[in-house]
Amino acid sequence: MDREFVKKLDDFVKMRLTEKRYRHTMGVVETAGALAERYGADKDKTYIAALFHDACKNLDIEEMNSLVEKYHLDKLYIDKPQLAHSKVAAEILKDRFGVTDQNIINAVSYHTTGRADMSLLEKIIFVADAVEPNRTYPEVKMLNRLAFEDIDRAGYEISSRTIKRVEESGMYLDRDSVKARDWFESILKGDSLDNSRNFAVYAANVLDSKKGEDIIVLDIAEKSSFADYLIIAGGSSIRQVTALAESVQSRADMQGRFVRGVEGKNGSGWVLMDYGDVVINIFTPEKREKYNLEKIWSDCERVDWEA
């Protein structure tokens, strides 16, 4: 990691935070780092997001409001520093420090509310913020332990508590807080991407959103010894085949689903991505016709991924 860059961030943060808030920030850095280790997230990105997440927490209300206006953020953040501080910090990270990594930006931007479809890094910052060792509310030790056992369950508990607290205090409840809780709940109900079928459906939808053609998901569990699901998709050109593969990989990375191997990225017109239980094949029209995987696996059940 670029030490000089980190030093600049740290100086910015230290100068603007109270001693107590800076101690909290260091607690988040420590806890988020340990969670990144536990779940396999990028350590440098985690460090930057944790260090900067509350950089604007202690700004006075006038300055916060003027930054909300400067960055053309939603007017609803005016006079709501408890929400605005996350959004403003994300903007400053881009504008002043030139950070372009959307995953880091989102982790800072959504650290207070969470949201649906959070990346692993976003979850780590959201959870670490609530359970770092300087927090003192009664359940914090239990939630800290839970964070290392099952980050989604911890996320669900934390977002549920936040919603309850906000409702009881009569403060403004952000819609993303509710979406985060509902999303964590759906994961706990078994919609997790660790599940191979869910991941296959997720990948098919990513391919579809990037204009992948004739996407087929086959349940090959009974016929194959190497995977549970096989995806076949088409791109109109070698370039699009590569772009489709890269989109799947980057979206899956964000969810903590890392590819084991990728073959054929050198412009052969067929990219094969091995996710262990799910194997994804993306072809140009010529290669798809030539290898005709649909025919080889024609006796396997097709999964209705659009549903």
Measured in residues, the chain has a length of 307
Q: How far is the CB of 30 from Fe ion (least distance, A)?
A: 13
* Choice between 82 and 198, CB closer to Fe ion: 82
Pick 25 or 103: Cβ nearer Fe ion: 25
Q: Measured from the CB of residue 56, what is the shortest distance to Fe ion in angstroms? A: 9
Helix (H, G, I), strand (E, B) or coil at 301: strand
| Helical segments of the chain, H only | 3-16, 19-39, 43-52, 61-70, 81-95, 102-109, 120-131, 140-149, 151-169, 175-186, 196-209, 238-254, 285-291, 293-296
In the complex, minimum distance from the CB of residue 79 to Fe ion, in angstroms, rounded to a whole number: 17
Residue ranges that bind Fe ion, judged by CB under 5 A: 54, 129
User: Toward Fe ion, which CB reaches closer, 109 or 284?
Assistant: 109
**Residue whose structure tokens are 């409840």:** 173
Beta carbon nearer to Fe ion, 58 or 240: 58
- In single-letter form, the type of residue at position 31 comes to T
CA distance 153 to 147: 8
How many other CB atoms sit within 10 Å of the CB of residue 304?
Answer: 8
Shortest gap between Cβ of 128 and Fe ion (angstroms)?
A: 9
Instruction: Return the number of the residue (71 or 291) whose C-beta is nearest Fe ion.
Output: 71
State the nearest-atom distance from the C-beta of 125 to Fe ion, in Å. 9
